[in-house]
Amino acid sequence: MTDYVVAIRSHRSVTLAALLLVTALSAGAQARKRPLSPADVDDIARLVMLEDHRDFDTTDLSRLLASQHPEVRRRAALAIGRIADKRGYALLRAKPLDADTAVAATEVFGAGQLKDSTTVAWFDSLLANRKLAPTVLTEAATALGKIKTARARDALARFLSSASESPRLNQAIGEALLSIGRCTTRGDLNPILRFGKANSDEIRWRAAWALFRPRDPAAVSVLMVMAAGDHSPDVRLWAIRALTKPQADSAGKAADAERILFAALRDSDRRVRTEAIRAIGTYSDSAAVTAMNAAKSSPDWWISSSAEEGLARLNPPPAPAGGGRQGGGRSARPAPTPITRPLPDYKAIVERWVVPDYNGAPRPTARWETVRGSIEIELYPGDAPLAVDDFVKTMESGTIVGTAFTRVVPDFVAQEETIPGGHRLRDEVSRHGLTRANLAWASAGLDTGTPGYTLANAVQPHNEGDFTALGRVTKGMDVVDQIQLNDKITAARILIVR
């Protein structure tokens, strides 16, 4: 059966022909979906409860991995990843990969969420088997980036050294590039460099990210060329990030890098200009200070605030009385709420959110009003039913109205302060990537989150596997990009709800 859970990890343009093809394939997959019986709903409710309790029940998980219904099998593999008990790997490997590609890809995703270094050899073997479904290859590449070890990097390098651009492999290549950039050890750059001139803008920006992320001096010269000459702003902005003074100094290229940054202040893309002034903020010569002083008068808040931050680094303000930490919306976390919900409560959540989403019903949508304009957000009820249920209750209670965005990082994220009455949330990590326009919540790691919610201005490859994708902005990303510190949500309501 066609893999109907699409791992969307980018913000690429889609041609009309491709859109029509995807629509046709999705409609065909929808028509072939097997209905969920009452027993299947009970099984899914049991899985959601196990996830929420982080309860590794070998008997139940084994039984549900062998279900006759592919959606139950898929969700059992997903639950193993969310429970994150390393014993789950043996359950996932007890049989060959599922014949249903959606289930197979989720089995690989679930194993990746365990972040177990002993699984590297399996993911390596999957990447070596080019006959596997592209989604399976993609999840294997993504999983290695969650493990991050030298062996994981070696496996990714082998794949990137032998793979070539093609419609079948491009998604896996893109994820492998992000994953090799997430690894904690440096290594041969050649597997990455061969994609620095790829035909696909999508692959090239990921290659730039993979070169930038480890702060390897050997990558600086290549990144300077990408920053100065690539036609894609997505490539330029990641390359620009590598030209901070410490990184440029490590390669003996500070003067040349600074000249590229000054030129980038005139770039046609706002994100590139923002990253340029942010990188200039790491220099302290008179030309850099002059550029920052000019930029702090910019009418664009991303530019002016980044310039002010750079100047503040040169003349740091005195620490607040008592040595306290200011801003961020992260300091006051409520104690964990004991999980006492009985199974019937989980069944009600599954019936309200999971079943309609599986059947193709319109997804719930929220609208936030801000002083900058309206933002509409489509939620993911099938992939994050507990989070959606809590979000809708928060919206309906009205407590979100009046909350301010107390952490706004240009070209990264706009984050609310903690919403009154909010409680700690269980993460429901899924195959939805942390893309631009993603809705998540404030978090210091898995299962530490509270609402305040966050809206992403940019992709966040470094955070993959540690945050819930709760939904995505469908209208008003221009508004999200204009949000400034302490802007408030002035009204909020649910537009579509069940």
Residue-level pLDDT at 319: 61
Alpha carbon of 207 to those of 62, 173, 180, 378: distances in Å?
Answer: 39, 10, 10, 30
Predicted confidence (pLDDT) at residue 110 exceeds the cutoff of 70: yes
Least confident piece of the model among 360-364, 379-383, 416-420, 439-443: 439-443
Whether 388 and 484 map to the same domain: the answer is yes
Average confidence (pLDDT) over 227-233: 96
Residue-level pLDDT at 422: 75
- Residue 251 sits in which domain range? 215-313
In a domain, 393, yes or no: yes
In a domain, 51, yes or no: no
Structure tokens at 58: 């070998």
In a domain, 436, yes or no: yes
- CATH number for the domain that contains residue 273: 1.25.10.10
Whether 489 and 398 map to the same domain: the answer is yes
The torsion angles phi and psi of 31, rounded to 5 degrees, stand at -65, -30
**Looking at 313, 343, 374, which one is the last position of a domain?**
313
DSSP state of 408: E
Q: In whole angstroms, give the CA distance from residue 458 to residue 434.
A: 9
Whether 298 and 383 map to the same domain: the answer is no
Amino acid at 264: A
Alpha carbon of 73 to those of 58, 97, 136: distances in Å?
Answer: 14, 11, 16
Count of C-beta atoms within a 10 Å radius of residue 21 = 12
Q: In whole angstroms, give the CA distance from residue 347 to residue 19.
A: 35
Predicted confidence (pLDDT) at residue 457 exceeds the cutoff of 50: yes
Q: Which residues pair with 475 in a beta bridge?
A: 376
State percent of the chain over pLDDT 70: 89
Whether 235 and 358 map to the same domain: the answer is no
Highest mean pLDDT of the ranges 62-71, 319-328, 445-454: 62-71
Residue-level pLDDT at 337: 57
**Looking at 261, 289, 313, which one is the last position of a domain?**
313
- CATH number for the domain that contains residue 390: 2.40.100.10
What's the pLDDT tens digit per position in 244-289?
A: 999 999 999 999 999 999 999 999 999 999 999 999 999 999 999 9
In a domain, 112, yes or no: no
- Cα 106 from chain centre: 17
What is the rounded radius of gyration, in angstroms, for the C-alpha atoms of the chain?
23
Task: Please tell me the pTM assigned to this model.
Answer: 0.88
In a domain, 386, yes or no: yes
Residue-level pLDDT at 445: 75
- Cβ-based burial of 265 (10 A; exposed 0-12, middle 13-18, buried ≥19): middle
Closest CA to 126 of 166, 67, 187, 176: 176
Predicted confidence (pLDDT) at residue 8 exceeds the cutoff of 50: no
Residues 6+ apart with CB under 8 A from 348: none
What's the pLDDT tens digit per position in 34-47?
A: 999 999 999 999 99
Q: In whole angstroms, give the CA distance from residue 21 to residue 41.
A: 31
Average confidence (pLDDT) over 193-218: 96
Q: Tell me how many domains the chain contains.
A: 2
Whether 400 and 492 map to the same domain: the answer is yes
Whether 485 and 402 map to the same domain: the answer is yes
Instruction: Supply angle C-alpha 347, 37, 25, rounded to 5.
Output: 105
In a domain, 273, yes or no: yes
